[in-house]
Structures are given as structure tokens and as C-alpha cells.
Amino acid sequence: MNIKSLLLGSAAALVAVSGARAADVIVPVAAEPADYVRVCDVYGAGFYYIPGTETCLSIGGYVRFQYNVAGGIEDDFGVDVLRNSEGDNYQAGSVVRVRLNFDAREETELGTLRAFARVQAQNSFGAYSVDAPYRMDQGYIQLGGLTMGYTDTLWTDGDGLLTDTDLPVGDFQTNRVSYTYAANGFTAALSLEDDGTGDFAPDVVGRLAYAGGWGSIYHAGSYDEQVGGGLLTPASFTAGSGFVINNLGVIVPASATFVNGIDPNVADDGAFALKAGLSLKDLIMTDSELKVEGSYAFDPSSYSTIGLFSNARTLGTQLDLLTGTLPVEWQIGAGYKQSFGKLGFAVSGVYGETFDTFRYTTATTFTNRGSGDYYKLVGNVEYEITNNFDMLAEISYANIDYSGQGGFVDNSLDQTAGFLRFVRSF
């Protein structure tokens, strides 16, 4: 074997060995690109794409601490009908609320598809404390201008004055199906709302509005198919001597019971109500707003009610502690709000008249107290402590005078109440 043959053989062997080793090499598979959460800026700040979808989701809410003080409600004879557990003619206590909002949106060929859910829980500490479990405060679906679900009645859209206690009429939530048409600042909406009576006929609410750089104006009308709910439910409690706690958690004279508002004989009658409001921005100063509102109901209606008095545990709710939610015939009010950087203040007030109200004298009989002339004044100061952390202090005074006689509690009632609130929003 010559040298040439040896060299050729060695080269062939080396090639064969190299090929065998090359066949044993493992080639790594390229990793799929990570699907990181992306910011969705289509609907404003705070939205992110749900991974693997084109749906944008926002999660927010707040934690709120509030300390409430509600003064005693005295009649003309000086009898206090609101006391604490120690017998003092006032109530005070702290309330903590936690709220979570979930907002999911995406674009479709039919418009924006949206699902919104709000859940919250509240703790009230003190002699009459209540730990409320998490519950659905709102939940609805929107597609374009169509809305279906549980939320505020269309009647309350854009209403209320400029303080936290905003003094609207008919402020409640309901299951509804509504449609809103919007173009160039103008909106027209129609809503069919479940009145909870169990029949096919819904309540009907319509609303027209226009908004521009100068402010906004709106007009709304409602048809209450069957008056009921809170207007007719008696505030019942155990009979006895001295004072007892009624079903609203309020200490009251044991010898007196009250009906929440109107004559039960009108329960099957439909009722119409109208409401209008005007808001003007920067009219007096920069960063100011002036608002006026008025309403009129042809008959007692769930869409024309107000709560004047409060106790510390439920301060801010629409419950009158003596007669329940008051049925309002007419009301007019105004509010003003002014901001100076981080500091702001607001004042508002309303004056109105109720329909005739009725008070139970026994478990089955009641007497007419007549209509009531009422007013309520509210003022507050707000300060932004730092980003997403605010403080609000508010005080209010309410008064009502009934035209008729008849009952343990006389016809003139008034109360001063207020709160100090801290909110951390996110």
C-alpha cells in the first residue's frame, strides 16, 4: 500500500466519523415569542390586553374610611327620636368600604362590546355595626348604544347637584334594557326598566341631553307603571315601652310606627314625572361649575323620592329614618363647585314639597300627616393629599314641616349631620 492510498483512506475515515458525530447533535427548537401583557390605549389609561385576545381589561376601585356623625332628630316638643346606645341624642361611628371595578371592552363590527361589573363590601363599626358581604353593586353588558343589566336607572343619568350628598330625586338601581343614540354632543336615550312587580309591563324612562365646552343641559321623563317598593313598605318594629330599634337600625319611640310615604290605595296607579337640569362651566371663575335642577311628579312615583335624614351607620343612603323614602311632588335646587388646584369646595341646596304622607297609628290603621315642605343644605371641602389619595369633609342640615297633625312625632323635624372621609383610589 503506497502513501497515496493511505492518505486517501485516512481522509475517508475521518469524514465518516465526523458524519456519525454530526448525526448525534441535538438541534434546539426555537422558543415561541412570549405573549407579554400589552398596554391598550384605545379606551384611555389603565387598560391592558388580556393575553391571547383583543379584549382590553381595566381593574380599579378604592378603599374608603369614613367617620360619620348624625345629630338627633327633634320634634317641636323637644323629643329626640334618634339616640345612640348610651341615650345621647346623636349617633357617631366609622364605616369602611372596599370597591372593585372590572371593565372589559373590545371593538366589533357592531360597535364597542363592553362588560362592566362592580362589587363592594362595607363594614360599619359600633353599637349597630354591620359587616356587609361582597355584593354586586352593578353589572351590565353594552354593545354600541345598547345597555342590558343591573345599574343606575336612566332617570339618574347626569342628575344630582355638586356635593357628595347630591340631593337627587329617584336615585336607585334597577335591571334595565336601554338604547342611547349619540352624535355631536347630543344624546337621546330610551330605557325599559324592571319595576319588580312581576308583570310584563316595565317602567319607561326617556332622556334628551346636550353637552359642550360650556356645560350641559338635559331633560328626562318617566312612567312608573306601578308605584310600590320602598314607598309602601312599613317600618315595623317590636312594640313595648320606651325606645326600640326599628328595621332601619334606628332607635325610635316604641309607641310609634310609620308607613314609608304614600296612601297604599294608590299603589296600582301609574305615575308620570319630569326632571330637567342645566350645568354651566367656568361661568364665574376658572375651574368652577354652577348647576340648577328641578323635578315635578304628577302622582307619587318611585322616580320622585328623596331621603332627608340620616343616622351615622347609614349616612348618605336614601332613607328617611322616620317615614322611609319621602314621595316628592316637586323640587328645585342649585349647586356650585370651585377648584383651586388640590383644594376644592362645593355647596348645594334644595327646596321642595312632598305628597301627603301617612303614619301608622296601629298595626293596621294609619292617619294622614299631610304634605311636607322641606329643604336641605350641604357644604363640603375636598383636598388631594397626594396622587390617588383624597380627603373630603361634608356637613348638611335638613328640615321638614308637615301641614297636617296626627301622631306621636310632631310635624316639624330637623337634623344636622356630617362626615370626614379618606379615599385611596387605584
Helix (H) or strand (E) run with residue 11 in it = helix 3-24
> What separation in angstroms does the CA of 398 have from each of 77, 172, 248, 381, 412?
18, 21, 19, 19, 11
What's the one-letter identity of residue 292? V
pLDDT digits (tens, 9 = 90+) for 57-89: 999 999 999 999 988 776 545 556 666 667 677
Comparing C-alpha atoms, which of 67, 357, 85, 401 is closest to residue 232? 357
pLDDT tens for the chain, 426 residues: list them. 555 554 445 545 544 545 544 445 565 666 566 667 899 999 999 999 999 999 999 999 999 999 999 887 765 455 566 666 676 777 888 999 999 999 999 999 999 999 999 999 988 765 445 566 788 999 999 999 999 999 999 999 999 999 999 999 988 899 999 999 999 999 999 999 998 877 888 999 999 999 999 999 999 999 988 765 444 444 443 333 344 444 444 444 443 333 344 544 444 568 899 999 999 999 999 999 999 999 999 988 889 988 887 765 544 332 333 445 688 999 999 999 999 999 999 999 999 998 877 665 554 555 667 788 999 999 999 999 999 999 999 999 999 887 765 544 456 778 899 999 999 999
Phi, psi dihedrals of residue 78, rounded to the nearest 5°: 80, 15
Q: How far apart are CA 322 and CA 341, in angstroms?
A: 41
Phi-psi region of 254 (alpha: psi -120 to 50; beta: other; left: phi over 0): alpha
Comparing C-alpha atoms, which of 8, 56, 23, 53 is closest to residue 35? 53
Q: How far apart are CA 109 and CA 114, in angstroms?
A: 13
What is the Cα 177 distance to its own chain's centre? Answer: 18
What pTM was computed for the model? 0.79
Q: Are 313 and 224 in contact (CB under 8 A)?
A: no
The strand pair at 389-402 and 372-386 is best described as: antiparallel
Q: What per-residue confidence (pLDDT) applies to 127?
A: 45
Q: What per-residue confidence (pLDDT) applies to 255?
A: 38
SS3 assignment, position 24: helix
SS3 assignment, position 103: strand
Burial of 137 (0-12, 13-18, 19+ CB in 10 A): middle
Q: What per-residue confidence (pLDDT) applies to 249?
A: 42
What is the Cα 229 distance to its own chain's centre? Answer: 18
The neighbour count for residue 193, using CB atoms within 10 Å, is 25
Q: Which three cell numbers stand for residue 423?
A: 379615599
